[in-house]
Structure 1
């Protein structure tokens, strides 16, 4: 081989080596992009239905076909107005968002019941941006030892902007303990105990000062004189919270599964969760998450039937059969201690049990068989009676003695003549065969 051929061979090898990574890299990158996520189209709308942005977005990073609204990139200055899970296959989605509001600053001036100044300051209210604030939002700037009794409830922010807002505060005095027992309209006790009341020390307290059991509301309101020796029995009414909606359940084939009216959205934010619904027994939700609540609206919800796993025993029957006696079953053993899911398989490994008085036709050490749960499998092991059966009393053979009145025809020395004659015949035959072999060898030598 000359120098040109050596150089050509080396260059060919170099080209082959450098081409492998170049071809493999795009394949790996493509595989990663296919499993990474899916593209969906999203349109974002505000609370009035106005389009505030959208477009194509990558979602479903784990590739399970479902994504959450929290995976989306929202328009700047907006936040989700709800949420939940969605199927990627639906393709195009309209997602409700609301404008982020950091609140409004309002200034308040506090005075006492006699008009004396108690200070004041700025406070941020209406952080949800709905234009309304509650008097509880100013609690953080109320001076210690005072309470607000003059400005209670919800108010429009616009009424307090750019104005001097004066609030009269009441001094808090040492309160008094009274005992209260709450009962419902049927007379059933639903709560109670000792409560601090009458913070201003005027000997009068209001029912609104009491902390009620959750889910109940006052029937009678107003003031009461303080009596520390008395137990106050106060009747409450069961409070109905949330929104009533009608639900119709159907299975995956559209068959009606029942339904009815349900209370949902207990916090009255206009959003309910499917988990708040009571489902028909034996069914489960296909779609989970939140949904918008419209009072009086009927919702059709598709459910999936829950199939319980059926279990059963796997049964193995081993029959020991005597073929020489008309296939008689002389022993049968049943094994059914393994239980599992129908359709799957159990494995039995058992010892051979040889019936008494029998022996195996074939030499086997054990029995192994696979049996489906819920099924019965029969196996046969062939046996035969043992050559020497146990003798019973009285079965012994009588000795071979001459009949009475007869004499032996020949006198012998104790040798069994039958055996001796047989041996003589064998030796005679062997001698004849040996003579023939000697004659044959002599011919060959000549």
Structure 2
């Protein structure tokens, strides 16, 4: 699996609260938010610099994250459990395939008997032989991966270890979103069925997977399909969700499937960056429909805001090539969100008209004019671009340039939309420094 980078957009999208309004559009919008949040958590489960960066974004949004890892030399599920004050649910995300031992897990395709109300019973039943296929059976490697997750330990031993069964059983008002990408999604499905078998109320549990393979046979699917709230996100072109049915046989997917269509810049439909890109687009698509239906969207809470006085925010200007035209609308909306998060007293342009007259009429002290461009990196294989965001701040009273800055990110293991959004971090810091000098 290629390395990936989750984006500064997390701090922007995750700031939005549940909304009120008409049931259909409201539910679609809230589901889109949940799918983006769980895609982010799935990325945060991975180790190394990438996972640390994603975790930082989530922590900036107020999530307290506990990481559970395997001891030196041991394999098995690694995962995170996250909670946030005032949020009535936990997030748990299980890592996908990221090392050779995980690949060996994926290749253990024979099935074992799945039954039991606790880990000891599950282990004993999995060792039984000559169980007929009319009984629930699951992928041996996935089952071992989840079973070994029980021995995972906190990466930070100063924290208190959390047990999901105990947390949910002791507080029936709490819910859990359990998620993962690829192997992590398969493990999330199995972990969810174990929680149900342990007596957790099905209404407390929702499983959301991204590009996950099937977990068990038809009997397993029939047993848990009625009670397990499972949503499977599948990108067009991703072969992994169907690989066991095709190459091994005897496996069956279940739950509600949602099909997404990643942009042409995503060459491998199984990549997590493709799922994150799709989650971003889905979020904005559903938000646009909610607004069109007259639903009042929430006001994001203050988060490290900059207050230089009233600021006019011009619409983003595009200098993108034709191949990236579809990305521009999402770039524009994401950038507007970032500015609105950072600047408490702002006026947002609703047209591409020149900024001078409307900014002055609105009593603005400053105007921000931005444009995005992209350049192909010729020496690189595939469609690698350098995405550049140029930001110019004008003094409205004089019409002169106060500052200009350029931020860029290459699309190595990123989509163009994700690369554009990643530039926000530098942009926001630059704005804060610039406006601090004007005081």
User: What TM-score does the superposition give when structure 1 sets the normalisation length?
Assistant: 0.17
Q: Which has the higher Rg, Structure 1 or Structure 2?
A: 1
Which one scores higher on RCO, CA 8 angstroms, separation ≥ 6?
2
User: What TM-score does the superposition give when structure 2 sets the normalisation length?
Assistant: 0.17
Decide which structure has greater strand share: 1
